[in-house]
Amino acid sequence: MVAIKFLALVLAGVATVLGVRVAIDIATERGSTALDRYGRWIADELDKAQIAVSPARASLWVTLTVLAAAILGVLAGNTLGQRIFWIVTLGSGACFIPSFAVSWLQARYLRRVDDQLVDALRMMSNALKAGLNLQQSLELASKEMPPPISAVFGRVVNEITLGRLTDDALRRMAQRVPLDDVRLFADSVLTLRETGGNLSETFAVIAETVIERKKVQGRIKTVTTQGVSQGVIICSMPFALLLLFAFIDDHYLDPFFNTPLGWAMLAAVFILDAVGMWAILKVVKVEV
């Protein structure tokens, strides 16, 4: 009887070990697949901003970011509960840091393209008046304009030179550079190529339209900046108070990190704070 019980315990232990091993293997495989997919997405998105990064390097950046956040979480807590909380919180947040960095790089790239678009349109308009055709005016802009707008038009010229249709190259440009003004430029060219018209005058009109829109956007940004600043200050207050109390007394916040009710309250704070910031940004955002 004792031998049967011992054998049952051994089999149960082996089954548990095998189950844990299988679970770890499945989690590792799925995590590796998700990491590779994330790395490819980062590489593809950065390619739109004229930044060459391999998927393997992008995946390495994500891994290092999460590991750094986990180490910071271990150092931030004094008890086991605090360390687990900060590891999970900072590690989860670190997963989104690369996507935020990609969004910031893309936004900076698009701003630079938007700022140079007016000069490029005027240059192409003058080139068309001088007798050049559309492809030659695009090539002139790619050679004479500074980056990144030169790379945008240079890619279009290269695609046309390699045999792609001009209409398809312009559509691909509008997809790579998701700006309203670039899409307006591409749609105008495509329409005029089908129906006929004066491209030079069209480019000049688009340039003036962009200038007027920028003036309106500048006024709106001036008015809404105060609202955004107030929203950031209000939404950062819970975290500032959390750090302040943590410095005043190391054990004052223990109930938040060591009890299920405290975890639930912290989760509610994070969720409500994020929803509040999202609502503020939606209210102050005005489309032109």
111-209 domain in CATH 1.20.81? yes
Average pLDDT on 77-101 reads 78
Q: Decide: 228 and 284 in contact? Cβ < 8 Å.
A: yes
Predicted local confidence at residue 13, as pLDDT: 62
Sketch the domain layout of the chain as residue ranges: 111-209
Give tens-digit pLDDT for 42-51. 888 888 777 8
CA dihedral (228, 232, 235, 239) in degrees, to 10, reads: 180
Phi, psi values for residue 5, rounded to 5°: -65, -40
Q: Which of 11-15, 68-72, 218-222, 266-270 has the lowest mean pLDDT?
A: 11-15
